[in-house]
Amino acid sequence: MADQPMPDPADYPWRTVTRAPAATRALGAAAGELLRGGEVILLEGPLGAGKTCFVQGVGEALGVTEEVISPTFTLVNSFPGRLRLHHLDFYRVEPDHDLADIGVPDLLDEVLDGAAVLLVEWPVPLRPELRGIPRLELLALPGPGPDDRAWHLRGEPAPPAAWQTLFAGEATQC
Ligand SMILES: Nc1ncnc2c1ncn2[C@@H]1O[C@H](COP(=O)(O)OP(=O)(O)OP(=O)(O)O)[C@@H](O)[C@H]1O
Ligand SMILES: [Mg+2]
């Protein structure tokens, strides 16, 4: 379960801030515009940090018409769009859970073929499956104001330049 400590923001070289849900959604949409297919994006951050809000923006940019809600109980939601969006949430998954029984290897194959993207909330149980697979990682942290969210970015390998630019400096939308 998701009671492990948060990653250290000092390990994430890029950072931007949103100050309202609409701004987070806009940030997600801007990130979604950068997606080419094949991306794996891990979303860390405490309950209510805005991870799902960000994914909603990504969905908007991908032309997803269905409502994107957190798959906390279903674990996986998949949406057709310009690229297929697989939205995972492992908050209720034990770190040693066998992810094959929820189809994770097949999802990863589809993503790595380039026709889909994978966005994962509470990704700790997935990390062992990702050895050698490039990924972008976001850490959302609240504060200091009630609607402030700091978005920290890192990547393995380093994120493309456009991602670095998007996550450098304060978001001014909304
Ligand atoms: N700047 C902001 N960005 C995103 N959400 C915000 C912001 N300010 C306030 N909020 C509120 O914080 C909440 C974020 O909820 P969201 O479901 O996106 O979080 P989450 O990180 O996915 O949580 P969980 O771990 O429970 O899935 C919403 O109630 C939203 O209205
Ligand atoms: Mg969520």
Extract the tokens encoding 118. 């994978």
Does 1 fall in a domain?
A: no
Question: Is 58 domain-assigned?
Answer: yes
Please tell me the pTM assigned to this model. 0.95
| 22 within domain boundaries | yes
Domain count for the chain, please give it.
1
Per-residue pLDDT of the chain (174 residues; tens, 9 = 90+): 666 689 999 999 999 999 999 999 999 999 999 999 999 999 999 999 999 999 999 999 999 999 999 888 889 999 999 999 999 999 999 877 889 988 999 999 999 999 999 999 999 999 999 999 999 999 999 999 999 999 999 999 999 999 999 999 764 443
CATH code for the domain of 55: 3.40.50.300
Q: Pseudo-torsion of CA 132, 134, 136, 139, nearest 10°?
A: 0
Q: Please name the residue whose Cα sits nearest to atom 17 of ligand 1.
A: 52
Q: Determine, yes or no, domain membership for 4.
A: no
Let me know if residue 114 belongs to a domain: yes
Residue whose CA is closest, atom 13 of ligand 1? 48
Domain boundaries, position 54: 12-166
